[in-house]
Amino acid sequence: MQEKFEQLQAKLRDIIDLGSAAGILGWDQNTYMPPAAAETRGHQMAIINRITHEWATSEEMGRLLDDLKPYAESLDPDSDEARMIKVAKHDYDIATRVSSEFVVEMSQVVTAAFSAWAEARAKSDFKIFEPLLEKVVDLNQRFAAFFPEVDHPYDALLDQFEPGMKTADVKAIFDGLRPQQVELIQAISEQPQVDDSFLHQPFDEKKQWEFGEEVITKFGYDWDRGRQDKAPHPFTMGVSIDDVRITTRVDPNFFNPMFFGTAHECGHALYNLGHARKYHRTLLSNGASLAVHESQSRMWENLVARSYPFWEHFYPRMQEIFPQMAGVSLDQFYKGINKVEPSLIRVEADEATYNLHIMLRLELEIALLEGKVLVKDLPEIWNAKIQEYLGLTPPNDALGVLQDVHWSYGNLGYFSTYALGNLVSAQLWEVIQKDIPDLDDQIRAGKFEGLLTWLREKIHVHGRKYEPQELVEKVTGSRIDPAAYVRYLKNKFGKIYNL
């Protein structure tokens, strides 16, 4: 049986390598590809994805997995071999539901959709993106139909990003979380607002870039295995354990987007760089799920980079780089970067209101999938929902329905993982603080080795070996739960706003 297991691994390595090549093409499309190359890139992506799908669903792959079933059952269920076979079978069962023709069509549509989204966002004109988004929604409806046994069609989409999680589970978590966040936001709104005007002024773009790179170098980002580039919407591309690239964007008149976006993407990258070396070019060299991935990015962005101890170390350096901050005290700055105020842009939202952005998107995605909302009506419905959730009305499409890139990638089912990641980050943080009692002192001294080592040992090294709920429970003692996040928000903002 060991020989058959090696045969399986060899076939999977070929599939993984093809996926890595597609990843490079996707990274290039988002960073340096000339706009006119979109159609050709669509054909390139389609052929790679078609071949990958055909190999992944071949009869030989199916026979190998069938032959290895008794072998897997004879192993320790937590052994690497048993887990690899389990993950391979899970992926095979999903892939065999979908035709190669569908995979090719999806590849071509999303390549065109990204270019249309980028143009539509730049021109703030939803009509440019609308016909491609209609195709994306149709493709997702057709994908969900390949899984008639699910409780809700959205389960099929959600499972791609959060294995084992059901739509009903997410709704239940959000239903319990929403009133507590709304109550906190209401209490904050009744207090004097903090001033963050000093964050909205000219900040040299080159200096912003260099400061961000200086900070994530201290976090532990390995520049021999990574790089940072500009993109319309920040993302991380994990090509392999030795090639993990991040992107960001710079606002010359607002400090937050580049700095906290860079910290966020670095969190993703550190996770990808930390998978066990023995999993390289196997199915286990990946994140447990996007919620677990987001727990890492949101942790470095918020629990670390928006913390007071962090700025006790870095604020003098920031004032040195940006002399215009000389008259702003550390206390003023800390409160400013943590200001709670409903805003239009998800990626720039404060921690107290961020999850409301996610809940809105979940509601719209489910309605799109069910056919209760039509794509052509999205701008109007989006604006109405933003008003309902946050009391704001976008002045244009770029600040409204076009702000996120995810739908152009074909990714319906993704957004809830951001909020789930927030919850997991707080659950992990409570355990980390117990295991590293002097964590604040370490951060205050600009030392992040202890935190990164803990994350490496408890989360990163396992890669995709455990399902997300299983991993969270293994580390924290409970499944994904909002209680720790609510405690974190109330403690942090209670102090900032004197609640």
Token representation of residue 240: 């392999």
265 tagged catalytic: yes
What is the residue whose two structure tokens read 């990274």?
27
Three-class DSSP category at 238: strand
Q: Which of 20, 121, 50, 52 is nearest to 407 (CA)?
A: 121
Q: Which two tokens stand for residue 226?
A: 């990574």
Is the CB of residue 270 less than 8 Å from the CB of residue 460?
yes
Paired with 248 in beta bridges are 230
Q: Extract the tokens encoding 313.
A: 């170390």
Residue whose structure tokens are 């293994």: 474
The number of helix segments (H) and strand segments (E) in the chain equals 20, 3
Alpha-carbon span 385 to 363, nearest angstrom: 9
Pairing, β 236-240 against β 228-230: unpaired
Tokens describing residue 281 = 């070019």
* Euclidean distance between CA atoms 84 and 88, whole angstroms: 6
Provide the 3-class DSSP secondary structure of residue 248.
Answer: strand
Residue type, position 351, single letter? E
Amino acid occupying residue 59: E
The residue from 162, 265, 365, 467 that is catalytic is: 265
CA–CA separation, 361 and 154 (whole Å): 13
Angle (CA) 282-288-292 rounded to 5° is 145
Residue 137 and residue 413 in contact, taking contact as beta carbons nearer than 8 Å: no
d(C-alpha 20, C-alpha 38), whole Å: 19
Contact indicator for 225, 274 with CB cutoff of 8 Å: no
The answer to whether the beta carbons of residues 429 and 483 sit under 8 Å apart is no
Q: What are the catalytic residues?
A: 265
